[in-house]
């Protein structure tokens, strides 16, 4: 496991970190985003989508089950906030989404941690002031080199 943290002192910085990550995202990346309401997860996904070259609207898929943003690679955006059981995720074809070409990102992913593949990348969002967020990244197994690259790209 490789971990590091980033300080995002404004919403713009959180967006920008997402954008940098989106620019270099590779097919097969699976992101588990954790942190409370309003911690900045959706804003980060907006940045990722922008970095992947998607120019449309990004909203959290709270009532539908996932959103797909077509950029250089498709970004599959999930939000498990309202889900109660792992079966609900399995029933929406989770394993098929994981096997597609593209990048998967899940808000409230820690609700069903066991559903993630061993190469997942975790990002925990921790508010420390009204506009400050500490983002803690965690790479596992095959994602460790990618996380190393992310750490090097971000000066903060
Ligand atoms: N440094 C920061 N990074 C990210 N968001 C910030 C920051 N400072 C303030 N904010 C504000 O916090 C809010 C984050 O909202 P966002 O929808 O991204 O949260 P979320 O983690 O997706 O919440 P939810 O669990 O409800 O989906 C936005 O209103 C944003 O402007
Ligand atoms: Mg959200």
Q: Considering the chain, what percentage of its residues have pLDDT values greater than 70? A: 98
Strand partners, 2: 139
| Mean pLDDT, residues 91-107 taken together | 96
pTM for this entry = 0.97
Residue-wise pLDDT for 51-86, tens only, equals 999 999 999 887 667 999 999 999 999 999 999 999
Nearest atom in ligand 1 to 45's CA:
18
**Choice from 9, 33, 38 to test ligand 1 binding pocket (greatest atom count within 8 A of CB):** 38
Q: What is the pLDDT of residue 125?
A: 98
Q: What is the pLDDT of residue 17?
A: 97
Average pLDDT, the chain: 95
* pLDDT value at 148 more than 90: yes
* pLDDT value at 46 more than 90: yes
User: What is the Å distance from ligand 2's center to 6 Cα?
Assistant: 19
In angstroms, the CA 96 to CA 74 distance is 14
Q: What is the pLDDT of residue 83?
A: 92
In angstroms, the CA 17 to CA 43 distance is 10
For 5-21, the three-class secondary structure string (H helix, E strand, C coil) is EEEECCHHHHHHHHHHH
Helix 11-23 to helix 144-153 angle (10° resolution) is 130
In angstroms, the CA 156 to CA 146 distance is 18
Contact (Cβ atoms closer than 8 angstroms) between residue 30 and residue 119: yes
* pLDDT value at 28 more than 70: yes
Residue in the structure block whose two tokens are 């990618």: 146
What is the set of domains in the chain, with CATH numbers? 21-126+146-153 (3.40.50.300)
User: What is the Å distance from ligand 1's center to 114 Cα?
Assistant: 26
Which residues in the chain belong to E strands, given as ranges?
2-8, 30-34, 66-70, 74-79, 103-107, 121-127, 133-139
- Cβ–ligand 1 distance for 117 under 6 Å, the answer no
98 token code pair: 């994981």
Q: What is the pLDDT of residue 153?
A: 87
**Choice from 13, 43, 133 to test ligand 1 binding pocket (greatest atom count within 8 A of CB):** 43
- Cβ–ligand 1 distance for 59 under 6 Å, the answer no
Q: What is the pLDDT of residue 106?
A: 97
In angstroms, the CA 154 to CA 35 distance is 21
Q: Which residues contact 82 (CB under 8 A, 6 or more apart)?
A: 62
Helix (H, G, I), strand (E, B) or coil at 27: coil
User: What is the Å distance from ligand 2's center to 31 Cα?
Assistant: 14
In angstroms, the CA 47 to CA 50 distance is 5
């Amino acid at each position: 496991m490789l971990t590091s943290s980033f300080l995002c002192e404004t919403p713009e910085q959180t967006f920008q970190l997402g954008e940098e990550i989106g620019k270099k995202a590779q097919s097969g990346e699976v992101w588990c985003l954790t942190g409370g309401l309003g911690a900045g997860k959706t804003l980060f996904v907006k940045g990722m989508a922008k970095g992947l070259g998607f120019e449309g609207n990004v909203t959290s898929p709270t009532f539908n089950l996932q959103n797909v943003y077509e950029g250089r690679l498709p970004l599959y955006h999930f939000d498990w906030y309202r889900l109660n059981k792992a079966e609900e995720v399995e029933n929406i074809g989770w394993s098929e989404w994981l096997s597609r070409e593209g990048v998967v990102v899940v808000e409230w992913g820690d609700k069903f941690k066991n559903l993630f593949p061993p190469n997942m990348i975790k990002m925990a969002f921790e508010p420390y002031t009204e506009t400050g967020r500490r983002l803690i990244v965690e790479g596992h197994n095959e994602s460790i080199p990618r996380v190393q690259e992310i750490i090097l790209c971000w000066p903060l």
